[in-house]
Amino acid sequence: MNRTSVRLADGRELIYFDDAPGLDRSAPDKRDLPPHRPRPEVRHDPLLDEWVAVAAHRQTRTFLPAADACPLCPGGPDSEIPAPGYHVAVFENRFPSLGGPAGGRCEVVCFTDDHDSTFAALPGERLATVAAAFADRTRELGALPGVEEVFVFENRGTEIGATLQHPHGQIYAFPYVTPRTRRVLDVARDGCVLCPAVAREERGERLVAATENFVAYVPHAARWPVQAIIAPRAHVPDLPALGEDRAVELMRLYADVLRRFDGLFPGPVPYMACWHQAPVAADRDRAHLWVEVFTPRRTADKLKYLASAESGAGAFITDVLPEDAAARLRAHG
């Protein structure tokens, strides 16, 4: 993997991660852009003791552009990535939810220059490059002043709000520990809950797939119509702690799970994928790295919506038996 850092026309950082060295990444960004000065803020909700990011400028972000105007395709007049034929590219989000007075940073991760591809279709060498990029950004962003948690995620499909169709993910460097991570760490005060879950699920009917170091399974109390957790057998806190070989192994299993999701229904399945890592400093010994993938699609033509019980009370009601979902995912291996 080869790493090259450059600057875009407005001063934002763009980092190329290439499958092999020797590629020219010097193409300049020729756009006429004003200096990048994000102005989001974070506000405290005293009722729930949680932080909320307020980023009104995101109302003007790019929304479902035509394929020939995609900002993630290389070299176009509106492209964020000027070099042709890039492999993996990571850049500061032009419309960030964090940064500036709010603290933290938001980045976009492009997995391929092919607009019509998917993460699941990436070749092995590209999965290794993505693994290296995720680990690099986790380390680098975690070292920024004020950053407390690095959260990697991927949204696919207009059904879940993705505004760009080009294969990409995002990384948020939060200036606080997110509510879900705080809750998981609180539950783990008497010991890791995920370690025994992994040992139990790899022998049960909710197992989806497994490799030497990782297990993918549908959780016993799945909240979504189809939901999978991918977790290392070993108790490790984050992606850099895996090391290169295990990180690539995890990426291969992740891609395998995504292919199984796509086999469930006609057409591309909308999904959200979340990479849960330990906070930068606090409670790292209690944190166990895990990835979750889920789709709101419950049948070929029906979506699960988070109505009042889920959105208002936080009480999830699932429409699909988790054991049935696991059987369907196994069948599409």
Q: Which residues are annotated as a binding site for Zn(2+)?
A: 70, 73, 115, 166
Our CA angle for 305, 308, 309, nearest 5°, is 95
Whether 168 is a known active-site residue: answer yes
Query: Which of 87, 168, 276, 288 does the annotation list as catalytic?
Result: 168
The CA–CA distances, whole Å, from 79 to 7, 106, 119 equal: 13, 18, 20
CA–CA distance, 258 with 110 (Å, rounded to integer)? 17
Q: Sort 265 into a burial class: Cβ within 10 Å, 0-12 / 13-18 / 19+.
A: middle
Residues known to be catalytic: 168
